[in-house]
Amino acid sequence: MKTSFTVNGSPFSIDLDPRVTLLDALRDHLNLTGSKKGCDHGQCGACTVLVDGRRINACLSLAVMHDGDEITTVEGLSEDGRSPLQSAFVRHDGMQCGYCTPGQLCSATAVFREIAEGWPSHVSETLDGPYALTREELAERMSGNICRCSCYPGINAAILETAEEDAGYAEAAE
Amino acid sequence: MKPFDYQRPDTLSGAHGAARDGATFIAGGTNLIDLMKLEVMAPDTLIDISRLGLDRIVPHGDGLHVGATVTNSDLAADMRIRRDYPVLARALLAGASGQLRNKATTGGNLLQRTRCPYFYDTATPCNKRSPGSGCAALGGEMRNHAVLGTSEHCVALHPSDMAVAMRALDVTVEVEGADGTRSETALDDFYRLPGDRPDQETTLDAGDLITGVILPAPFGGRQTYRKVRDRASYAFALVSVAATVRMENDRISNVALAFGGIGTRPWRDPDVEDLLTGETPTTALFEKAGDILMKDAVLREGLEFKDTLVRRLLTATLTEMTQ
């Protein structure tokens, strides 16, 4: 089935079996292998990508259902792989094997936006916001991304530091 | 995954036209695609209902009409839900992960299948997956299983958090039949008990499409959703409770309690609410409510802990809410 979508700003039109997940379309048809296949069942978050700015598990979505969508993978988060968040991951040693890292980066990017839009979380004390990205909020909001090397101290430090330094995020959250 | 035809109609009538025997609707797909990968479900035809304009939340009488494809994220973030139906926002936020809530929809959440591991394991018998084949959970390992509403054919648990809150809120499910006829079913009447046909989970007929959920006028009062699970986040409930309480002159004037993690469907017991209504809140009263709630519970091996856990959750929640 002919399917067209934009990935990292570039338009693609590909012919796909409807069984192909968005993750497999990205990796096997577009050779964008940054997004990783961990569990392939939505439990680990390694496949997290952004669709129209929102994070989803690309493994649990059929590619044909994304006709017309704008998709961002880890390859599209920055031109040189050195966005403030990516650089913070390097600085804080936010990975060991690195397999979960693309998903962590995409997920955290979406968390910044969700905080800025005033979305509450399970651990938020009130439902009316606004919310700050505390350590507790971060742990809850990133619970869909597992790191089996357990590099959470570095991952958390990198995300929290980026959140603090991102003026746009802070302003929007006010 | 077994091959299937994929269709993406852009109108409701188109969706009905595409629906036929064996056709399955897909919206978020977070549960369905998972089950299709495991070949627990193998529909011949998938009808994508994500572009039918069912993704809006609009006023409906004194309440709200929530479209079937409104995502769990959007529903939880909606200011009207947060202000007027906080128990629902809390239940949604207690479920799944940020990624899943962005895809999972209102209708799909109501229809999600049990997480019983034997239902997922096609190498074992399961009356829900394959009627008449037997139940591997009975005599197997049990933890995420039901203690109320079970039968000798099935002990599978309804896993939703959202539906538990909706049961406490007395929502109505709006359904459009294959011939375009609209009907409304109270959520209390929407889920079947397993009996000897655990594969038939709801009162929906073949071709029926959930178009939305109707929330009644806001209840007000105090509302909460409490969930106990094996880890702090991203796990199904061992037990949970959605509670709405109104107090008058230090007495409970109105209360609704729905439970997750204990029943084959989101569980609500009118006898529990009758006992509490009009009474002065005391620990003894709450403990008696626990006795009534659990009077018909069948505590199979491995599930005994749920009896203690749900009673304590009930007492703790009502104590906090009636202070």
Distance from CA of A24 to the nearest CA of B (A): 13
Which ranges of chain B would DSSP assign to H, the alpha helix?
Answer: 12-18, 32-37, 72-77, 79-84, 86-93, 98-103, 106-110, 117-120, 162-168, 187-190, 270-276, 283-293, 304-321
Domain residue limits, chain A:
2-76, 84-173
On the question of a common fold for B5-48 and B222-321, the answer reads: no
Say yes or no: A127 contacts chain B, CB-CB below 8 A: yes
Beta-carbon separation of B97 and A19 below 8 A: no
- At residue A173, does pLDDT exceed 50? no
Q: What is the pLDDT of residues B224-283, one digit of tens each?
A: 999 999 999 999 999 999 999 999 999 999 999 999 999 999 999 999 999 999 999 999
Say yes or no: A110 contacts chain B, CB-CB below 8 A: yes
Which residues face B83 on adjacent strands? none
Q: Which residue of B has its CA nearest to A107?
A: B99
Task: Provide the pLDDT confidence category of residue A170 given band limits of 50, 70 and 90.
Answer: very low
Considering CB atoms only, which of B8, B102, B234 is closest to A56? B102
pTM of the model: 0.97
Distance from CA of A61 to the nearest CA of B (A): 6
Residues with Cβ < 8 Å from B210, sequence gap 6 or more? B68, B106, B107, B110, B111, B173, B174, B175, B204
B319 within 8 A of B283, measured Cβ to Cβ: yes
Give the strands of the sheet with B172-176, arranged side by side.
B57-60, B63-67, B209-215, B172-176, B182-186
Q: What is the ipTM of this complex?
A: 0.96
Averaged pLDDT for residues A115-121 = 97
Q: Of the candidates A74, A72, A92, which has an alpha carbon nearest to the alpha carbon of residue A83?
A: A74
Q: Which residue of B has its CA nearest to A61?
A: B29
Residues with Cβ < 8 Å from B117, sequence gap 6 or more? B137, B141, B144
Considering CB atoms only, which of A19, A55, A120 is closest to B89? A120
Architecture category of domain B222-321 in CATH: 2-Layer Sandwich (3.30)
CATH of domain A2-76: 3.10.20.30
CATH of domain B5-48: 3.30.43
Residues with Cβ < 8 Å from B298, sequence gap 6 or more? B147, B148, B150
Residues of chain B that touch chain A, judged by Cβ-Cβ distance less than 8 Å: 1, 3-6, 8, 26, 29-30, 33-34, 37, 46, 48, 50, 73, 76-77, 82-83, 86, 89-90, 93-94, 96-100, 102-103, 232-234
Q: Of the candidates B195, B37, B210, which has an alpha carbon nearest to the alpha carbon of residue B128?
A: B195
Strand, coil or helix: B263: strand
Strand, coil or helix: A42: coil
Domain residue limits, chain B:
5-48, 222-321
A104 within 8 A of A55, measured Cβ to Cβ: no
Distance from CA of A59 to the nearest CA of B (A): 9
Architecture category of domain A84-173 in CATH: Orthogonal Bundle (1.10)
Annotate A89-116 with b (16+ C-beta within 10 A) or e (fewer): beebebbeeebbbbbbbbbbbbbbebbb
**Average per-residue pLDDT for chain B:** 97
Q: Which residue has the higher pLDDT, B59 or B20?
A: B59
Contact list in A for residue B162 (CB cut-off 8 A) is none
